[in-house]
Structure 1
Amino acid sequence: MTGGMYMSSLAAEARDGGASDEADHISGDTLVSGIPAVNAPVPPAAPKPPAGSDGGAKPKAAAKPARKGRSKAALAATAVLAVVGIAYAAGLLMDHADVPTGTTVLGVDIGGKTRDEALKALNAAVGDRGTAPITVHIGNQDKQLKPELAGLSINTEDSVNQVAHRDYNPISVIGSLFGGEHQVAPAINVDQEKLRSQLQTLSPNTGGSDGMVKFVDGKPVGVPGTPYQAVDADASVQKITAAYTQRAETGRNDPVDLAVTTHQPRVTQAQIDEAIRTIGDPAMSGKITVTAGTHSVLFSPQKSLSKILTIVPAPSNGKMTLHIDLAVLRQLYGNAFDGVLLERGIGTKTPVTPQDVASAMLPALAKTAPEKTAVIQNVAN
């Protein structure tokens, strides 16, 4: 049977409603656009991917979890920043004192206090840490170094001033909410010149010197220097300063070992000659009358100035400087200034001291004149 005849027969059966199940099966399964269909082989099942592989997953599908992970990290970071911001604001609102909460100086908690309260607490805690003598070992001897003479002191007022302000550091502000401490180093005053001068007085006496100018019967006389044993000034200043700071912070008063070395004279003959010409000759050029109000004392080159004056190298830089022996000066003027009071800068009135007399004399000693006058200022009425 031809294809056309077969299609006609099927069409007729369909019109008559008598098409058989077999005809329906053939029509649905074998006809495609009038051409008999060929049964295609069933493709084999795809092999299962090995364990641990991504199974050929598409890149786009794999990227979705990564985007989800980044979103979680961003949310977590935002939450952390919000918590930090709230804590920072809370710390600023809760801390209204002059000294931020948690501040310690010399082991003393002065946080949360006013400036005056903090200063009072710090002074009470320091006690004698700043004034007690420091024991030093020099060679085979133990000697005492007094801080007030060596220019050493704990400046409690500056220590408080350097912390008595609002602290906007987030670490300090947030830490204060949880009892955190902010330790601040104390303010230590060190007068290098005074400290070196005291070290020089503590050095062993070996008969040597740096060189100097002394005065004999109103005339300057040069004294060349000779080698001598003395402490190493540079190293000693550092060690004593460190020991003093440690004692201020901890209360420990450990002895300080100072090395002794041989020193050559610092002053040359040329420097001695220059000092005689520029310092010694003017100082011996005439008498000096020192006055304080209605009281006065006369000092002459031959009888008194020669006893109290020397020209020596300054401990700090070796520059030749006029030196006045205050103890001998006090003996010379005796009771001449008894009853004279001077107005001090702190609003008090106190008697004349040898330092007051020496300070008034120094400008006059620098002048060349047969008669000189030195006036002690600020005499109280």
Structure 2
Amino acid sequence: MTDKPDDELNISAADDVVDESGVVEEGDELDLGDGEDGDEKVADVDDGEQVDDVEAPEPVADDEPRGFPDDEPHDAVRDEDEPYDAAQASNPRHWGRRVALGLAAVVAALYVGGYFLTGIRMPANATIAGVEVSGKSPADARAAVDKALTPRISREIVLTHGKKEFRIKPDDAGLALDLDRTIDEAGGARSWKPADVLGLFVGRHRTDPALDVDYSALRSAIDTIGESVNTEVVEAQITFPDGKPEIRNPRSGLVVAGDDAASAIRNAYLVSDKPVEVPTAVVEPAVDSDAVAAVKKSFADPAVSGPVTLAVGDKEVSLPVSAYAPALVVRVKDYQLQPFIDAKKLAKPLTDSTTGIGKKAVDATVRIENDKPV
């Protein structure tokens, strides 16, 4: 562009001089009109005044593409005049997760702290064989239990059955106190168990003494008691002493319940000085009275209703009831009543009844004639 002295400089735009980017292209004329009536604006230029060339500005690079407002997320832009809603800004799910994690951290811290307390102090409301040890250190608890139980170590355990009384010495029954294990089992040892950790603060904890037991000696002591307590079971039986059925009704037996007796003796040692009832168990007979009555009717009565006829060779012999009845017996076998004959008892009456029948038996002999056995 050059100066034109004494002339009017009319700069007008033919069409669109400024594009959407706002850049003025070289060679375009600027339209300085007001845009309403289309009148041209003329710029007065003093004579001799130089007009500089108009330089187009460098286009500004836009790193991020522009989008329409609707393309933006609705929660990404907030109007400054819009009130802030804290309830909407916070996510309830995330808030609940934070609370849960916080509670878990607190519980874990308490649990670990409780673990380190186990082995240092005894549980709350704790007793061992009636000795109060709550909150004591394991060493102090051990000393208290030792002092209280030492006088009881040799005390006899008393058992009764009816009017009978039995006294058992702990040494004879193989019983001895294990003091260290007693303290550990009562809560004096380190433990990760939730119940042990919680027990430091709440609950009631009653612990029996831990014992070393020689079960062979204990069983021997119980067997000694059984010799005076046990009664054998009486099984049903039918005999025929006078040719008529004679019934022995079944009767239950009684024995010392070994396992229960062992538990009762262990539980009483060092803890109680009261007599312990001997545990017993009833032994029932194989068959009851109803079964005996049924067998009597179906077998015993018909068996002795008349003489028995025996076939001996080609002859028959009648055997009277008085001859065979004493040898007959009905007793229990394989949990039922079955008849049996006593051969020894039957031998004499059977011989007497068959005397003179057949030939008399003789010993065999061998003779040698003409060098041959004959």
Bin of the TM-score, shorter chain as denominator length: 0.3 to 0.5
TM-score by length of 2: 0.37
TM-score by length of 1: 0.36
Structure showing greater Rg: 2
Bigger fraction of residues in helix: 1
